[in-house]
Amino acid sequence: MERQWQASQRFEELFGTFFRCGYVLDGLEEPTFKAKSESNRHPSWGNLLGIPPVLVARMRLAAPS
């Protein structure tokens, strides 16, 4: 059986260093791929349309107060 890779970090673990340095999260996307004509018998991103394969975040330095 092939090993399943997954990330189980909380957002604080992923972004906490940036937040402490004055950055803010102003964009978050979880894009999915379009369906391909593949067999439904084998797991692939073409068959798993409801599970986003990536998390994309945009961070910006907060405006001075």
Give the model's pLDDT for residue 1. Answer: 62
| Alpha-carbon Rg for the chain in angstroms | 17
Give the model's pLDDT for residue 52. Answer: 81
Give the model's pLDDT for residue 7. Answer: 65
Residues in contact with 47: Cβ distance below 8 Å, sequence separation at least 6, in sequence order: 35, 36, 38, 39, 40
Q: pTM for this structure? A: 0.60
Q: How far apart are CA 40 and CA 62, in angstroms?
A: 45
Long-range contacts of 11-14 (CB under 8 A, 24+ apart): 14/57
Q: Convert the pLDDT of each residue in 29-49 to its tens digit.
A: 988 777 665 566 677 777 777
Domain ranges (residues) in the chain = 11-61
Q: Convert the pLDDT of each residue in 9-32 to its tens digit.
A: 788 888 999 999 999 999 999 887
User: Which phi and psi angles does 24 have, rounded to 5°?
Assistant: -120, 150
